[in-house]
Amino acid sequence: METALNLAFPKSALLAAALAIGSAHAAPSILFIGNSFTYAQGSAVHYYRASTVTDLNDQGVGGLPALFKSFTTEAGLNYDVYLETQGGVGLDWHLAHKSEVLGERAWDGVVMHGLSTLDEHKAGDPALLVDTVHRTAELLRKRNPAVEIRVMATWPRADQTYDPKGHWYGKPIEAMADDLRAAYDKAQAATPGLKPVIPVGDAWIRAMHTGVADPNPYDGVEAGKLDLWTYDHYHASTYGYYLEAMVVFGSVTGRDPRSLGDGECSGYELGLSRAQVAALEQVAYDQLAATNAVKPAPAKPGPAGHPDRCATAR
C-alpha cells in the first residue's frame, strides 16, 4: 500500500526532489589545467595521494591538486578535485588537444597557468598567454557562465636567471618573477570576470627576501634556508610545490594558510619539519594578506601528522 506521501506526490517528483537535495549538497568541483608545474615534476609531490583526485589523463598524478585537496579536507572543506596536465606545454596546447575534456562539464572553479617562460618561441612575451587565457575562459563559460576562473602566476626559474643560456641571464631573480606577474596581470585584465591572480611567484620572492629560501642554488644553499627548486633549478622542490599549494589554498578558499598549523598532515608526510611548514605557511599568508585576500586566523600548535587527522585528509 502506498503511503500518503507517495499518493500526494508522483514518484518522478519525489526523485527530482531527492536529486535536487543531493545536488545542493554536492562538493564544488575544481579543475587544475597546467603542465609539469601543476603535476609537480622532480619531487615527491608528483604522485602524492593520487587516489584523492581525478586525473583526466589517467596518468596517476597527485601533484598540486592533491596537496590542495589535502589542505581543504583538513580545513573541513569538501572539493571534488580534477586535473588535466601535460608537460612542457601552454594553454594553447590544451585548447588544441583537450577542448572536449575541458568543456565536458560545468566546473565550479578552475585554476590554470601557461608556460614557465610565457612563450616557447618568444620568452617573456605575454601575448600568447593573454590570448589563450581569454579563449580558455570562453570555453569554460559555455558550460557554466558562473565558473570561478583563476590564473596562477608561476615562479622564476634559476636556470633562466643564472645560466648564460637563460633569457633573464644577468638580471636579478626578481626580474623574471616581475615579468611573469605582469603577464598574468595582463591576462586577467583582458578577460573580464576572472578572479585575482594567484601570486605564487611573488610568494617565492617573498620567501627569499625574508630569509626562508635561498635565491641562488648555483652558489650553494645557505644553512638554514630552503631551496625552492629541485635538482634541475627549473622545476620546484617539495618545498617549492608546498609553498605553491599553500598560496593556491589561500587564494581559492580565503582561508589563512597558517590555520592548518605546523603539524599539517601533508607537510609531515612529505618530510618537512614543523619549523619549515610554519615558515612556508607564514610566507603564503603574508603574500595573500598584503592584498587582503585572507583574514588572519593562525592555528594553535598541535601534534604533527596526527593519525586521526591525517587519515581523514586521505
As a residue count, the chain comes to 314
What pLDDT was estimated at residue 314? 60
Judge whether residue 78 has pLDDT over 90: yes
Greater pLDDT, 300 or 159:
159
pLDDT of 13-41, one tens digit each?
Answer: 444 444 344 444 689 999 999 999 999 99
What pLDDT was estimated at residue 25? 61
Contact assessment for residue 40 and residue 236, using Cβ atoms and an 8 Å cutoff: yes
CB atoms within 10 A of CB 256: 22
Q: How far apart are CA 79 and CA 73, in angstroms?
A: 8
* Sheet containing strand 148-153, strands side by side: 54-55, 80-85, 29-34, 109-112, 148-153, 198-199
Judge whether residue 224 has pLDDT over 80: yes
Judge whether residue 276 has pLDDT over 70: yes
Burial of 47 (0-12, 13-18, 19+ CB in 10 A): middle
**CATH topology (fold) of 23-313:** Rossmann fold (3.40.50)
pTM of the complete model = 0.90
pLDDT of 286-299, one tens digit each?
Answer: 999 999 999 999 98
Q: How far apart are CA 43 and CA 239, in angstroms?
A: 9
Judge whether residue 301 has pLDDT over 80: no
Range with lowest mean pLDDT among 2-11, 118-127, 184-193: 2-11
Tell me, letter by letter, the H, E, C secondary structure of 59-109.
Answer: CCCCHHHHHHHHHHHHCCCCCEEEEEECCCCCHHHHHHHCHHHHCCCCCCE
Q: How far apart are CA 128 and CA 95, in angstroms?
A: 12
